[in-house]
Amino acid sequence: MKIYNYGAINIDHIYQVPHLVKPGETLSSSSYQQVLGGKGANQSIALAKAGAQVLHIGRCNKSDQWAIEQLSQAGVNCDLVEGVDQPSGHAIIQVDQQAENCIVLFGGANQSFTAQDIKSALKGTVAGDWLLLQNECSNIADAVNYAADAQLQVVLNPSPMLSNIDEFPLHKVSLLVVNEVELQQLLQLECETKEQMVEQVRKAFPDTDVVVTLGAQGAMWINADEQIQVDAYEVEVVDTTAAGDTFLGFLLAAIGRGESKRTALIAGCKASSLAVQSLGASSSIPTAAQVAAL
């Protein structure tokens, strides 16, 4: 089984600030880093570090070859990554003293894929392969439709949330991975209890497996028959930027190895607890050995 990840490759500009900037305010940062980011790139690196065979589908500017090299060095197959003339996608990230962040995205080359480009990139897939998707690239709904028709298992992490998400063929998604805020946006209501959340998820997605990350409360796997929750690990949080991407990568890698849902959730929680203890996105993702030692 191969995992194809059609996802963003971003250049992250990270600023350490005393607090998140307010409207009309000019704020000095105490430090600055430029690193590889993008939910797609982060998730591919997490998958590779977790031991999965992952092929990344993406684009960045030709001058940012270092980003492709960094993906390759992490163990990601980059045969389907292209250098193009469009500017690379990038993110402006503020991180405050409480490790909260605020992010502004520019799509750049990530938004240049047509439906035909996606179809061409996936021509080497076989039934049973997995396609991982986020919302930072163009024509995600077309990718879902094509993958479902090709009998691929579709994993969707709908972040950042789009205003037209209700137009997506979500019933064709095999596994939906969201945080609490994204789930509320999908359901268009706020769940006051976990019991209500489970009920509403089953009602909205009767044929889909849904994983909800719950921050300090861990994560939960919900489907028509099961409700599995695991706890988070208590650690000193430095930067949560790559927490969700790290969680997803290690979760999906465990599923690919045939691990149980509970074991996969635990792997994701362990990995993300290590990631949040370091500053940065892809640079904070731990290795499989580090996760196993926790």
For residue 28, what pLDDT is reported?
96
Average pLDDT, the chain: 95
Overall average pLDDT of the 119-146 stretch: 97
For residues 190 and 225, what is the distance between their CA atoms, to the nearest angstrom? 23
- Annotated catalytic sites, by residue? 245
> What pLDDT is recorded for position 167?
87
Longest dimension (CA), the chain: 53
Counting Cβ atoms within 10 Å, is residue 115 exposed (0-12), middle (13-18) or buried (19+)? middle
Residue 281 has pLDDT above 80, yes or no: no
In a 10 Å sphere around its CB, with 0-12 CB exposed, 13-18 middle and 19+ buried, how is residue 142 labelled? middle
- Summarised one tens digit per residue, pLDDT across range 182-211 is 999 999 888 889 999 999 999 999 999 999
- CATH number of residue 109's parent domain: 3.40.1190.20
pLDDT score recorded for residue 149: 97
State how many domains the chain has: 1
pLDDT category, 260, cuts 50, 70, 90? very high
Residues 6+ apart with CB under 8 A from 271: 46, 50, 246, 247, 249, 250, 285, 286, 291
Q: Express as a percent the part of the chain with pLDDT over 90.
A: 84
20 in Cβ contact with 26 (< 8 Å): no
Question: Taking a C-beta distance cutoff of 8 angstroms, is the pair 32, 14 a contact?
Answer: yes
Domain that holds residue 266: 3-293
Mean pLDDT, residues 272-288 taken together: 89
The per-residue pLDDT for 246 is: 97
Helices (H) and strands (E) in the chain — how many of each?
A: 9, 13
Per-residue pLDDT at 226: 96
Calculate the dihedral angle through the C-alpha atoms of 48, 54, 60, 63, rounding to the nearest 10 degrees: 60
Q: Worst-scoring range by mean pLDDT, 27-31, 37-41, 101-105, 251-255? A: 101-105
Confidence band (pLDDT; 50, 70, 90) for 166? confident
The confidence score (pLDDT) of residue 238 equals: 87
pTM score of the predicted model: 0.92
Cα→Cα distances 112→116, 128, 178, Å: 11, 27, 25
Q: Is the pLDDT of residue 101 over 90?
A: no
